[in-house]
Amino acid sequence: MITDFFEYFRALSARKRAEPSDDLASLIANAQIDGQPISDLEAMSYYIIVATAGHDTTSSSTAGAFWALAENPGELAKLKADPSLIPSLVEESIRWTTPVKTFMRTATADVHFADRHVKKGDWLMLCYASGNRDEAVFEDPFQFRVDRKPNKQLAFGYGAHVCLGQHLARMEMRILWEELIPRLNNLELAGEPAMSEAVFVNGPKRLPVRFEMA
């Protein structure tokens, strides 16, 4: 529950104001803008995004790739034959799964785009999953291709708030696959997979697989 996060981080914040140390929690607790402490809501928002943003996102992208590889043995064979494709697999698995579905933006100016008028102040829902299946940008967007090139996936967002952890996410996933692919002899589904039912961040909830390791 989000309220549990608030409770936990309020206590942490109070502790780090009383006794600051050389860490990120103290930096957030004591942050100021124009000489004024940042608001409680801003501080809590920083704590919560730093603590949660890297969990279901990277695990969902990894599980999404497992699912896709189990259904596409030819793609696994490509990776085993040429492990230099692993960074490309990482990019494709993030596009394929797009774990963060949406964010909102408020237009700061009137814009005419793709036959639509957006007025200053309008709310816009950014649908990352839709953008990542855009047939005007991606060839055969509904196919999982470990060697997709170019791959201008948008799952990390864009602009001032683009994902702060994107390089860490890519590195974590690359290392996992570098260790796993050479040992993974085969992989197949061993039951019916299912996605989690969520509108903000989602990914595979259940993924029964059968595999053999070298």
CB 154 within 8 Å of CB 138: no
Q: Is 158 in the site for ligand HEM (CB under 6 A)?
A: yes
Residues in contact with 78: Cβ distance below 8 Å, sequence separation at least 6, in sequence order: 85, 146, 147
* 162 contacts ligand HEM (rule: CB under 6 A): yes
Please tell me the number of Cα atoms within 13 Å of 204 on its side-chain side.
22
Taking the C-alpha atoms of 178, 182, 183 and 186 in order, what is their torsion angle to the nearest 10 degrees?
A: 110
Per CB under 6 A, 200 contacts ligand HEM? no
Residues 16-55 that bind ligand HEM (CB under 6 A): 49-50, 53-54
**Stretch binding ligand HEM (CB under 6 A), from 12-20, 139-147, 159-167, 189-197:** 159-167
Answer for which of 9, 13, 58, 88 binds ligand HEM (CB under 6 A) is 58
Taking the least distance from each CB to ligand HEM, the nearer of 163 and 209 is: 163
Task: Say how far apart CA 148 and CA 141 lie, in whole Å.
Answer: 10
Identity of the amino acid at 106: T
* Contact call for residue 165 and ligand HEM (CB under 6 A): yes
Q: Count of residues binding ligand HEM (CB under 6 A)?
A: 24
Binding flag, residue 64, ligand HEM (CB under 6 A): no
Shortest distance, position 157 Cβ to ligand HEM, whole Å: 2
Does residue number 131 form part of the binding site for ligand HEM (CB under 6 A)? no
Q: How far apart are the C-alpha atoms of 95 and 42, rounded to whole Å?
A: 30
Cβ 204 vs Cβ 194: under 8 Å: yes
Binding site for ligand HEM (CB under 6 A): 49-50, 53-54, 57-58, 61, 94, 99-100, 103, 128, 155-159, 161-165, 168-169
